[in-house]
Amino acid sequence: MLSRLMLAVLTASLPAGLALSFEQKVFNVRQFGAQGDGRTVDTAAIQQALDECGQAGGGVVLLPAGTYLSRPVEIYSKTTLLLEQAATLKATDDPKDYLPAEVTWEDVLMGRSRGPFTNFLSGKRLTDVTITGKGTIDGSGARWWEPAEEARRKAPGYTLPRPNLIWIVGCKNLKVTGITLQNAPKFHLVPEDCENVLIEGVTILAPEGAANTDAIDPSMSRHVKITHCLIDVGDDNVAIKSARKMHGRKCASEDITITDCVFKHGHGVSIGSETAGGVRNVTVRRCQFEGTENGIRIKTARGRGGLVENIVYEDLTMKDVVGAITITTYYPKIPANDPAQPVTAETPRYQDIRITNLKATSAKNAGVIVGLPESLVRNVVLENVQIAATGQGLTILNANGVRLKHVRVIAKQGPPFIVQDAQVEGLADARKQSQ
Protein backbone atom coordinates (compact mmCIF):
# COMPACT_ATOMS: atom_id res chain seq x y z
CA MET A 1 0.00 0.00 0.00
CA LEU A 2 1.05 3.60 -0.49
CA SER A 3 2.78 5.38 2.37
CA ARG A 4 2.16 9.10 2.85
CA LEU A 5 5.64 9.91 1.54
CA MET A 6 5.26 7.66 -1.51
CA LEU A 7 1.81 9.09 -2.20
CA ALA A 8 3.24 12.62 -2.20
CA VAL A 9 6.10 11.64 -4.51
CA LEU A 10 3.84 9.83 -6.99
CA THR A 11 1.22 12.56 -6.95
CA ALA A 12 3.89 15.01 -8.11
CA SER A 13 4.28 12.84 -11.23
CA LEU A 14 0.58 12.93 -12.06
CA PRO A 15 -1.25 15.36 -14.34
CA ALA A 16 -3.39 17.89 -12.51
CA GLY A 17 -6.70 16.51 -11.33
CA LEU A 18 -5.65 12.86 -11.13
CA ALA A 19 -5.19 11.32 -7.68
CA LEU A 20 -3.96 8.09 -6.09
CA SER A 21 -5.19 6.61 -2.85
CA PHE A 22 -3.50 4.96 0.14
CA GLU A 23 -5.24 1.70 -0.75
CA GLN A 24 -3.46 1.30 -4.08
CA LYS A 25 -0.49 -1.04 -4.23
CA VAL A 26 2.58 0.07 -6.17
CA PHE A 27 4.48 -2.31 -8.45
CA ASN A 28 7.77 -0.55 -9.19
CA VAL A 29 9.34 -2.11 -12.28
CA ARG A 30 12.80 -1.57 -10.75
CA GLN A 31 11.88 -3.99 -7.98
CA PHE A 32 11.22 -6.62 -10.64
CA GLY A 33 14.64 -6.16 -12.16
CA ALA A 34 14.15 -3.41 -14.76
CA GLN A 35 17.38 -1.50 -15.40
CA GLY A 36 16.04 1.57 -17.22
CA ASP A 37 19.42 2.19 -18.83
CA GLY A 38 18.18 2.39 -22.43
CA ARG A 39 20.26 -0.65 -23.44
CA THR A 40 18.92 -3.56 -21.41
CA VAL A 41 15.68 -5.05 -22.73
CA ASP A 42 13.40 -4.77 -19.69
CA THR A 43 10.35 -6.58 -21.11
CA ALA A 44 10.32 -9.43 -18.58
CA ALA A 45 10.47 -7.10 -15.57
CA ILE A 46 7.82 -4.72 -16.93
CA GLN A 47 5.46 -7.54 -17.87
CA GLN A 48 5.92 -9.22 -14.48
CA ALA A 49 4.96 -5.98 -12.75
CA LEU A 50 1.88 -5.69 -14.96
CA ASP A 51 0.99 -9.35 -14.40
CA GLU A 52 1.26 -9.16 -10.61
CA CYS A 53 -0.71 -5.92 -10.56
CA GLY A 54 -3.49 -7.58 -12.55
CA GLN A 55 -3.44 -10.70 -10.38
CA ALA A 56 -3.64 -8.56 -7.23
CA GLY A 57 -6.84 -6.94 -8.46
CA GLY A 58 -5.24 -3.70 -9.48
CA GLY A 59 -2.79 -1.03 -8.45
CA VAL A 60 -0.08 1.23 -9.83
CA VAL A 61 2.69 -0.01 -12.11
CA LEU A 62 5.41 2.59 -11.71
CA LEU A 63 8.20 3.49 -14.11
CA PRO A 64 10.62 5.83 -12.31
CA ALA A 65 13.00 8.07 -14.25
CA GLY A 66 15.00 6.16 -16.84
CA THR A 67 14.68 4.70 -20.33
CA TYR A 68 13.06 1.26 -20.38
CA LEU A 69 13.63 -0.60 -23.62
CA SER A 70 10.94 -3.21 -24.17
CA ARG A 71 9.26 -5.59 -26.55
CA PRO A 72 5.41 -5.66 -26.53
CA VAL A 73 3.64 -5.78 -23.15
CA GLU A 74 0.04 -6.28 -22.04
CA ILE A 75 -1.94 -4.30 -19.47
CA TYR A 76 -4.84 -5.54 -17.29
CA SER A 77 -7.94 -4.20 -15.57
CA LYS A 78 -7.80 -1.76 -12.66
CA THR A 79 -4.21 -0.88 -13.52
CA THR A 80 -2.67 2.57 -13.52
CA LEU A 81 0.51 2.67 -15.61
CA LEU A 82 2.39 5.66 -14.23
CA LEU A 83 5.45 7.09 -15.97
CA GLU A 84 7.31 9.58 -13.83
CA GLN A 85 8.84 12.69 -15.34
CA ALA A 86 12.01 11.69 -17.26
CA ALA A 87 10.73 8.11 -17.59
CA THR A 88 10.55 6.73 -21.13
CA LEU A 89 9.05 3.39 -22.13
CA LYS A 90 10.77 2.77 -25.45
CA ALA A 91 9.79 0.11 -27.96
CA THR A 92 12.37 -2.09 -29.62
CA ASP A 93 12.41 -1.67 -33.39
CA ASP A 94 13.20 -5.21 -34.53
CA PRO A 95 10.21 -6.43 -36.59
CA LYS A 96 10.62 -10.01 -35.34
CA ASP A 97 9.65 -8.78 -31.85
CA TYR A 98 6.15 -8.01 -33.18
CA LEU A 99 5.54 -10.88 -35.64
CA PRO A 100 4.62 -14.55 -35.21
CA ALA A 101 7.65 -16.83 -35.37
CA GLU A 102 6.59 -18.22 -38.74
CA VAL A 103 6.35 -14.77 -40.40
CA THR A 104 9.32 -12.63 -41.40
CA TRP A 105 9.52 -8.91 -42.07
CA GLU A 106 10.55 -9.82 -45.60
CA ASP A 107 7.23 -11.68 -45.99
CA VAL A 108 5.41 -8.45 -45.08
CA LEU A 109 7.52 -6.25 -47.34
CA MET A 110 6.99 -8.59 -50.28
CA GLY A 111 3.22 -8.76 -49.70
CA ARG A 112 3.22 -12.45 -48.77
CA SER A 113 1.82 -11.77 -45.30
CA ARG A 114 0.17 -9.01 -43.28
CA GLY A 115 1.41 -10.33 -39.95
CA PRO A 116 -0.48 -10.19 -37.69
CA PHE A 117 1.57 -7.74 -35.65
CA THR A 118 1.49 -7.52 -31.88
CA ASN A 119 0.95 -3.92 -30.79
CA PHE A 120 3.44 -2.45 -28.36
CA LEU A 121 1.10 -1.79 -25.39
CA SER A 122 -2.23 -3.57 -25.57
CA GLY A 123 -5.12 -4.92 -23.54
CA LYS A 124 -8.50 -6.57 -24.19
CA ARG A 125 -11.85 -6.68 -22.37
CA LEU A 126 -10.76 -4.43 -19.51
CA THR A 127 -12.21 -2.06 -16.93
CA ASP A 128 -10.69 0.95 -15.19
CA VAL A 129 -7.38 1.39 -16.97
CA THR A 130 -5.27 4.56 -16.66
CA ILE A 131 -2.09 5.43 -18.55
CA THR A 132 -0.67 8.60 -17.07
CA GLY A 133 2.24 10.62 -15.78
CA LYS A 134 4.70 13.17 -17.13
CA GLY A 135 6.83 10.63 -18.97
CA THR A 136 6.95 9.34 -22.55
CA ILE A 137 6.03 6.23 -24.51
CA ASP A 138 8.21 6.08 -27.62
CA GLY A 139 7.47 3.70 -30.50
CA SER A 140 10.93 3.87 -32.15
CA GLY A 141 9.15 4.30 -35.46
CA ALA A 142 12.00 5.56 -37.66
CA ARG A 143 12.97 2.07 -38.82
CA TRP A 144 9.40 1.42 -40.00
CA TRP A 145 8.56 4.67 -41.79
CA GLU A 146 10.90 4.50 -44.77
CA PRO A 147 9.65 1.12 -46.09
CA ALA A 148 6.08 2.25 -45.40
CA GLU A 149 6.56 5.40 -47.46
CA GLU A 150 8.24 3.42 -50.23
CA ALA A 151 5.28 1.03 -50.33
CA ARG A 152 2.88 3.97 -50.46
CA ARG A 153 4.77 5.52 -53.37
CA LYS A 154 4.45 2.27 -55.32
CA ALA A 155 0.74 1.89 -54.51
CA PRO A 156 -0.91 5.21 -53.55
CA GLY A 157 -3.15 4.82 -50.51
CA TYR A 158 -1.56 1.52 -49.45
CA THR A 159 -0.83 1.09 -45.73
CA LEU A 160 2.11 -1.21 -45.03
CA PRO A 161 1.23 -3.39 -42.00
CA ARG A 162 3.05 -2.35 -38.84
CA PRO A 163 2.43 -2.46 -35.08
CA ASN A 164 0.54 0.33 -33.35
CA LEU A 165 1.86 1.98 -30.20
CA ILE A 166 -1.20 1.56 -27.90
CA TRP A 167 -4.26 -0.52 -28.81
CA ILE A 168 -6.91 -1.05 -26.12
CA VAL A 169 -9.96 -3.15 -27.09
CA GLY A 170 -13.23 -3.47 -25.19
CA CYS A 171 -12.38 -1.29 -22.19
CA LYS A 172 -14.84 0.50 -19.93
CA ASN A 173 -13.41 3.54 -18.20
CA LEU A 174 -10.13 4.25 -19.98
CA LYS A 175 -8.04 7.30 -19.10
CA VAL A 176 -4.93 8.46 -20.92
CA THR A 177 -3.68 11.69 -19.37
CA GLY A 178 -0.63 13.90 -19.23
CA ILE A 179 1.88 11.70 -21.03
CA THR A 180 3.73 12.13 -24.31
CA LEU A 181 3.28 9.53 -27.05
CA GLN A 182 5.73 9.71 -29.91
CA ASN A 183 7.21 8.00 -32.94
CA ALA A 184 4.67 5.21 -33.36
CA PRO A 185 5.43 2.74 -36.16
CA LYS A 186 1.81 3.29 -37.27
CA PHE A 187 -1.09 4.64 -35.16
CA HIS A 188 -0.32 6.06 -31.71
CA LEU A 189 -3.48 5.50 -29.63
CA VAL A 190 -6.41 3.32 -30.66
CA PRO A 191 -9.32 2.78 -28.25
CA GLU A 192 -11.46 0.18 -30.06
CA ASP A 193 -14.97 -0.73 -28.85
CA CYS A 194 -14.33 1.23 -25.67
CA GLU A 195 -16.80 3.10 -23.48
CA ASN A 196 -16.16 6.11 -21.25
CA VAL A 197 -12.80 7.25 -22.55
CA LEU A 198 -10.92 10.34 -21.39
CA ILE A 199 -7.82 11.50 -23.28
CA GLU A 200 -6.60 14.69 -21.62
CA GLY A 201 -3.47 16.79 -21.72
CA VAL A 202 -1.63 14.33 -23.97
CA THR A 203 1.12 15.34 -26.38
CA ILE A 204 1.48 13.18 -29.51
CA LEU A 205 4.44 13.68 -31.85
CA ALA A 206 5.76 12.17 -35.07
CA PRO A 207 7.56 13.65 -38.09
CA GLU A 208 5.37 15.31 -40.69
CA GLY A 209 6.36 12.74 -43.34
CA ALA A 210 5.94 9.61 -41.18
CA ALA A 211 3.38 7.52 -43.08
CA ASN A 212 0.07 6.61 -41.40
CA THR A 213 1.07 7.88 -37.97
CA ASP A 214 -2.46 8.77 -36.83
CA ALA A 215 -2.48 10.26 -33.33
CA ILE A 216 -5.84 9.18 -31.84
CA ASP A 217 -8.22 6.77 -33.57
CA PRO A 218 -11.40 6.15 -31.55
CA SER A 219 -12.80 3.11 -33.36
CA MET A 220 -16.35 1.91 -32.72
CA SER A 221 -16.21 3.59 -29.32
CA ARG A 222 -18.66 5.79 -27.46
CA HIS A 223 -18.65 8.41 -24.73
CA VAL A 224 -15.18 9.64 -25.65
CA LYS A 225 -13.68 12.98 -24.59
CA ILE A 226 -10.43 14.27 -26.10
CA THR A 227 -9.36 17.55 -24.54
CA HIS A 228 -6.37 19.88 -24.15
CA CYS A 229 -4.09 17.77 -26.33
CA LEU A 230 -1.21 18.92 -28.54
CA ILE A 231 -0.88 16.81 -31.69
CA ASP A 232 1.77 17.08 -34.41
CA VAL A 233 1.98 13.94 -36.57
CA GLY A 234 2.22 12.58 -40.11
CA ASP A 235 -1.42 11.56 -40.67
CA ASP A 236 -4.83 12.12 -39.06
CA ASN A 237 -4.65 14.12 -35.83
CA VAL A 238 -7.88 12.41 -34.79
CA ALA A 239 -9.65 9.80 -36.94
CA ILE A 240 -13.06 8.57 -35.80
CA LYS A 241 -13.59 5.19 -37.43
CA SER A 242 -16.54 2.82 -37.60
CA ALA A 243 -15.74 -0.21 -39.72
CA ARG A 244 -18.69 -2.42 -38.75
CA LYS A 245 -22.04 -2.47 -37.01
CA MET A 246 -22.15 -3.04 -33.26
CA HIS A 247 -25.03 -5.00 -31.73
CA GLY A 248 -27.62 -2.82 -30.02
CA ARG A 249 -26.30 0.48 -31.38
CA LYS A 250 -27.67 2.65 -34.16
CA CYS A 251 -24.11 3.85 -34.73
CA ALA A 252 -20.98 2.05 -33.61
CA SER A 253 -19.10 5.31 -32.92
CA GLU A 254 -21.08 7.90 -30.99
CA ASP A 255 -20.97 10.66 -28.39
CA ILE A 256 -17.44 11.89 -29.06
CA THR A 257 -16.26 15.34 -27.97
CA ILE A 258 -12.97 16.99 -28.98
CA THR A 259 -12.25 20.32 -27.26
CA ASP A 260 -9.45 22.82 -26.67
CA CYS A 261 -6.81 20.98 -28.70
CA VAL A 262 -3.98 22.27 -30.87
CA PHE A 263 -3.29 20.42 -34.12
CA LYS A 264 -0.14 21.12 -36.10
CA HIS A 265 1.13 18.85 -38.87
CA GLY A 266 -1.32 16.10 -39.73
CA HIS A 267 -4.52 15.55 -41.67
CA GLY A 268 -6.90 17.29 -39.28
CA VAL A 269 -9.90 15.92 -37.40
CA SER A 270 -11.32 13.15 -39.57
CA ILE A 271 -14.40 10.99 -39.58
CA GLY A 272 -13.68 7.91 -41.69
CA SER A 273 -12.74 6.61 -44.06
CA GLU A 274 -14.38 3.57 -42.42
CA THR A 275 -17.99 4.58 -41.60
CA ALA A 276 -19.98 1.41 -42.35
CA GLY A 277 -20.94 1.03 -38.68
CA GLY A 278 -22.20 4.61 -38.46
CA VAL A 279 -20.98 7.73 -36.63
CA ARG A 280 -23.17 10.20 -34.76
CA ASN A 281 -23.13 12.88 -32.08
CA VAL A 282 -19.63 14.28 -32.59
CA THR A 283 -18.64 17.73 -31.36
CA VAL A 284 -15.37 19.54 -32.16
CA ARG A 285 -15.07 22.80 -30.22
CA ARG A 286 -12.44 25.50 -29.49
CA CYS A 287 -9.62 23.85 -31.40
CA GLN A 288 -6.72 25.38 -33.34
CA PHE A 289 -5.32 24.03 -36.59
CA GLU A 290 -1.86 25.27 -37.59
CA GLY A 291 -0.51 24.07 -40.93
CA THR A 292 -2.53 20.85 -40.95
CA GLU A 293 -3.27 19.23 -44.29
CA ASN A 294 -7.00 19.35 -43.54
CA GLY A 295 -9.20 20.98 -40.96
CA ILE A 296 -12.72 19.58 -40.82
CA ARG A 297 -12.73 16.28 -42.70
CA ILE A 298 -15.44 13.67 -43.27
CA LYS A 299 -14.34 11.06 -45.80
CA THR A 300 -15.56 7.72 -47.03
CA ALA A 301 -16.57 5.98 -50.26
CA ARG A 302 -19.08 3.55 -51.68
CA GLY A 303 -18.58 0.11 -50.21
CA ARG A 304 -17.30 1.38 -46.86
CA GLY A 305 -19.84 4.07 -46.02
CA GLY A 306 -22.73 4.34 -43.59
CA LEU A 307 -24.71 6.91 -41.63
CA VAL A 308 -22.87 10.01 -40.38
CA GLU A 309 -25.16 12.41 -38.52
CA ASN A 310 -25.38 15.09 -35.84
CA ILE A 311 -21.88 16.47 -36.29
CA VAL A 312 -21.09 19.88 -34.76
CA TYR A 313 -18.02 22.09 -35.26
CA GLU A 314 -17.82 25.28 -33.17
CA ASP A 315 -15.31 28.04 -32.47
CA LEU A 316 -12.43 26.80 -34.62
CA THR A 317 -9.42 28.68 -35.96
CA MET A 318 -7.29 27.42 -38.82
CA LYS A 319 -4.05 28.88 -40.16
CA ASP A 320 -2.48 27.75 -43.44
CA VAL A 321 -4.44 24.51 -43.67
CA VAL A 322 -4.75 22.74 -47.02
CA GLY A 323 -8.55 22.83 -47.23
CA ALA A 324 -10.61 24.11 -44.32
CA ILE A 325 -13.71 22.00 -44.96
CA THR A 326 -13.59 18.57 -46.57
CA ILE A 327 -16.91 16.73 -46.49
CA THR A 328 -16.82 14.11 -49.21
CA THR A 329 -18.42 10.79 -50.05
CA TYR A 330 -15.53 9.99 -52.38
CA TYR A 331 -12.15 8.77 -51.14
CA PRO A 332 -9.35 9.14 -51.98
CA LYS A 333 -10.33 11.33 -54.98
CA ILE A 334 -13.44 13.08 -56.27
CA PRO A 335 -14.05 12.02 -59.91
CA ALA A 336 -14.78 14.53 -62.62
CA ASN A 337 -17.94 12.68 -63.70
CA ASP A 338 -19.82 10.00 -61.82
CA PRO A 339 -23.23 8.48 -62.61
CA ALA A 340 -25.63 7.45 -59.87
CA GLN A 341 -25.37 3.86 -58.64
CA PRO A 342 -27.76 1.61 -56.72
CA VAL A 343 -28.02 2.39 -53.01
CA THR A 344 -26.70 -0.35 -50.70
CA ALA A 345 -26.16 -0.78 -46.97
CA GLU A 346 -22.66 0.64 -47.44
CA THR A 347 -23.64 3.73 -49.40
CA PRO A 348 -22.41 6.85 -47.53
CA ARG A 349 -25.16 8.95 -45.91
CA TYR A 350 -24.27 12.33 -44.37
CA GLN A 351 -26.84 14.51 -42.64
CA ASP A 352 -27.26 17.20 -39.97
CA ILE A 353 -23.83 18.81 -39.94
CA ARG A 354 -23.29 22.24 -38.40
CA ILE A 355 -20.22 24.48 -38.67
CA THR A 356 -20.33 27.65 -36.55
CA ASN A 357 -17.73 30.33 -35.84
CA LEU A 358 -14.94 29.14 -38.11
CA LYS A 359 -12.12 31.43 -39.17
CA ALA A 360 -9.59 29.91 -41.56
CA THR A 361 -6.82 30.60 -44.03
CA SER A 362 -6.14 27.88 -46.57
CA ALA A 363 -2.95 27.36 -48.51
CA LYS A 364 -5.01 25.75 -51.26
CA ASN A 365 -8.80 25.57 -51.79
CA ALA A 366 -11.47 26.62 -49.32
CA GLY A 367 -12.94 23.12 -49.31
CA VAL A 368 -15.66 20.81 -50.56
CA ILE A 369 -19.10 19.57 -49.53
CA VAL A 370 -19.72 16.69 -51.93
CA GLY A 371 -22.32 13.93 -51.84
CA LEU A 372 -23.11 11.12 -54.24
CA PRO A 373 -25.68 11.56 -57.01
CA GLU A 374 -27.69 8.74 -55.39
CA SER A 375 -27.07 9.93 -51.80
CA LEU A 376 -27.03 13.69 -51.33
CA VAL A 377 -25.37 15.36 -48.35
CA ARG A 378 -28.32 16.76 -46.37
CA ASN A 379 -28.90 19.55 -43.88
CA VAL A 380 -25.55 21.29 -43.60
CA VAL A 381 -25.41 24.68 -41.86
CA LEU A 382 -22.47 27.07 -42.11
CA GLU A 383 -22.84 30.10 -39.82
CA ASN A 384 -20.29 32.83 -39.08
CA VAL A 385 -17.70 31.22 -41.33
CA GLN A 386 -14.75 33.08 -42.89
CA ILE A 387 -12.30 31.31 -45.19
CA ALA A 388 -9.51 32.95 -47.19
CA ALA A 389 -8.01 30.56 -49.75
CA THR A 390 -5.07 30.94 -52.11
CA GLY A 391 -6.73 28.50 -54.50
CA GLN A 392 -10.36 27.88 -55.43
CA GLY A 393 -13.44 28.57 -53.36
CA LEU A 394 -15.93 26.24 -51.67
CA THR A 395 -17.34 23.50 -53.91
CA ILE A 396 -20.88 22.27 -53.12
CA LEU A 397 -21.99 19.27 -55.18
CA ASN A 398 -24.81 16.74 -54.79
CA ALA A 399 -26.24 18.36 -51.68
CA ASN A 400 -29.66 19.33 -50.36
CA GLY A 401 -30.57 21.68 -47.53
CA VAL A 402 -27.27 23.56 -47.30
CA ARG A 403 -27.77 26.84 -45.44
CA LEU A 404 -25.25 29.69 -45.44
CA LYS A 405 -25.54 32.38 -42.74
CA HIS A 406 -22.91 35.12 -42.54
CA VAL A 407 -20.46 33.16 -44.68
CA ARG A 408 -17.55 34.84 -46.45
CA VAL A 409 -15.16 32.98 -48.73
CA ILE A 410 -12.28 34.75 -50.45
CA ALA A 411 -10.72 32.74 -53.29
CA LYS A 412 -7.80 33.83 -55.44
CA GLN A 413 -8.76 31.42 -58.22
CA GLY A 414 -12.30 31.65 -59.55
CA PRO A 415 -15.57 32.35 -57.75
CA PRO A 416 -15.98 31.92 -53.98
CA PHE A 417 -18.65 29.23 -54.41
CA ILE A 418 -18.79 26.50 -57.04
CA VAL A 419 -22.27 24.97 -56.85
CA GLN A 420 -23.61 22.10 -58.93
CA ASP A 421 -26.64 19.86 -58.40
CA ALA A 422 -27.17 21.37 -54.97
CA GLN A 423 -29.88 23.30 -53.16
CA VAL A 424 -28.20 26.10 -51.17
CA GLU A 425 -30.07 28.66 -49.08
CA GLY A 426 -28.39 32.01 -48.51
CA LEU A 427 -26.05 31.65 -51.47
CA ALA A 428 -26.81 35.11 -52.91
CA ASP A 429 -26.01 36.84 -49.61
CA ALA A 430 -22.85 34.77 -49.18
CA ARG A 431 -21.69 35.78 -52.64
CA LYS A 432 -22.26 39.45 -51.81
CA GLN A 433 -20.35 39.16 -48.53
CA SER A 434 -17.48 37.45 -50.38
CA GLN A 435 -17.00 40.23 -52.92
Residue 392 in any domain: the answer is no
**Active site amino acids:** 235, 267
Residue type, 231: I
Residue 413 has pLDDT above 90, yes or no: yes
Query: Which one, of 119, 116, 111, 94, lies nearest residue 158 by Cα?
Result: 111
Query: Which sign, positive or negative, has the C-alpha torsion 15, 179, 321, 302?
Result: negative
Please give the residue range of the domain that contains residue 267.
Answer: 4-349+364-375
* pLDDT single digits (tens) 13-29: 777 767 666 578 999 99
Residue 428 in any domain: the answer is no
Residue 4 has pLDDT above 60, yes or no: no
Half-sphere exposure of 358 (CA within 13 A, CB side): 32
Interstrand relation of 269-271 and 73-74 (parallel, antiparallel or unpaired) = unpaired
* pLDDT single digits (tens) 351-378: 999 999 999 999 999 999 999 999 999 9
* pLDDT single digits (tens) 234-251: 999 999 999 999 999 999
Residue 303 in any domain: the answer is yes
The CATH number of the domain holding residue 52 is: 2.160.20.10
Residue 154 in any domain: the answer is yes
% of the chain surpassing 90 pLDDT: 93
> 5 pLDDT band (50/70/90 cuts)?
low
Please give the pLDDT value at position 15.
75
Residue 84 has pLDDT above 60, yes or no: yes
**Which residues are CB-contacts of 81 (< 8 A; sequence separation ≥ 6)?**
50, 61, 63, 75, 121, 129, 130, 131, 132, 133
- Quote the number of domains for the chain: 1
- What global pTM score does this model have? 0.96
The b/e string for 142-153 (b: 16+ C-beta within 10 A; e otherwise) is eebbebbbebee
Please give the pLDDT value at position 258.
99
Residue 99 in any domain: the answer is yes
Please give the pLDDT value at position 8.
62
